[in-house]
Each structure stands twice: as C-alpha cells, then as structure tokens.
Structure 1
Amino acid sequence: MTPMFNPTALLRLQMQMAIMTMEASAVIWMRMMGMAGTWNVAAGENGRMVREKQRAFAKAAQEASVAAMQGRNVGAAALHPLRRKTRSNVVRLARRGPKLR
C-alpha cells in the first residue's frame, strides 16, 4: 500500500488539517481583536500576517516537491510548515492576552 492511500495516514492528515483550521481561526480572531484594540498585539502584527503566509506557502511547496520526488505523502509534507506556523501564532498571540484597560 502506498503512503498516499494508507487509511491511517489519511486520517492523520485529516486530523492535522482540522487542528490547523481551528488554530487559524483562533489566530484570525485574536488579530481582529488586536485591530479593534481589545487584544494585545505587537506593533508590526499586520505586516507580519502578510509576510508569514508567503514564507509558509513557499516552504509548503518546497516540502511537497521533495516529498513527491521521494515518494512520500505530499499532503502531509505540505501541511507540516503551515501547521507549524499556525501553532506558533496561536501560542504567541494567546500569551499576549486581552487588553484589560
């Protein structure tokens, strides 16, 4: 059975995508609250959210290409850099917390 059609690998990929979607939703919420002035965000957060996507998607494309050449699961390889970025963002932004004054 190839890695691409392994049911366990597909389920794992689906779960990672679901977690990434929830993390991305939380990041969007915290950044929107930051724009509204109710969440503590760094001064350069708006620029950061644009730049990081370019880097993450370029890294995802690179990882997917390498995985394809090696016969590995392309979806999992592409998702890994994206999930790493959403996870780091949600941790970083949640740590800053809401503005209480």
Structure 2
Amino acid sequence: MWPLSMVQAWMRTASAGVAMAIDVQSVINLRILGLAGLRASPEGEGWRMIHEKQPAFMAAGIAWQNAILAGDDWSAQAEAATRPLARKARSNHRRLMRR
C-alpha cells in the first residue's frame, strides 16, 4: 500500500495537469474560431500564438532544473515544470474570453 502523502501528491499533480489541459484546450478552440473568422480575435493573435511558446517552455525547463537541483521530490518537480505553462494557458484563456 502506498503512503497517503504519496497519493495526495499524485492527486495534486494530476489535478493541476487536468486543469492546465482544460485551459489549453479552451485556448486552442478560441484561437481556431478566431482564425476562422467565427469569433472576434485580437489583432496579432496568430503571431502571438507562435511566439509565446518558446519563452513559456524555457521558463518551464528552468523551473524544472531548479527543482531538481534543489533536491525536490518528483511531485514538486512536476509542479515546478508545469506551473509556468499553466500560468500562461490560464492568462491566455482569460484574455481570449474577454473578447
């Protein structure tokens, strides 16, 4: 049997991943609708869609490396790596929903 703390860490990490996946899918849908002309889309959204990925993934990689070097456990490493991506997806979702 696994210790309760390990199960709780797994559930916290999985929940954060699911929340990020929902935000990401919403952003993809809103952008596709905007690019197809079916929804109002901010000027330059296509450019932004391409150019925001590299800095977000760089931030995720650096956060993950810092967590590894700090000796954090696997769940803290996973949370550190996904936090910048989740933050970016959440902010994109909020921004696109305001339109």
TM norm structure 2: 0.88
Q: Runs of 5+ in structure 2 lacking a partner?
A: none
Q: Give every structure 1 segment of 4 or more consecutive aligned residues whose post-TM-superposition deviation is greater than 2 Å.
A: none
Distance 1:19 1:63 in 2: 19
Distance 1:82 1:6 in 2: 24
Distance 1:51 1:34 in 2: 17
CA positional deviation for 1:11: 0.9
Partner of 2:82 in structure 1? Answer: 79
Distance 1:20 1:34 in 2: 21
Distance 1:51 1:6 in 2: 37
Amino acid paired to 2:95: R
Amino acid paired to 2:63: E
Instruction: Provide the secondary structure at the position in 2 that maps to 1:6.
Output: helix
Partner of 1:42 in structure 2? Answer: 42
CA positional deviation for 1:33: 0.4
Instruction: Provide the secondary structure at the position in 1 that maps to 2:28.
Output: helix
Q: Percent identity?
A: 37
Q: Runs of 5+ in structure 1 lacking a partner?
A: 97-101
Partner of 2:51 in structure 1? Answer: 51
TM norm structure 1: 0.86
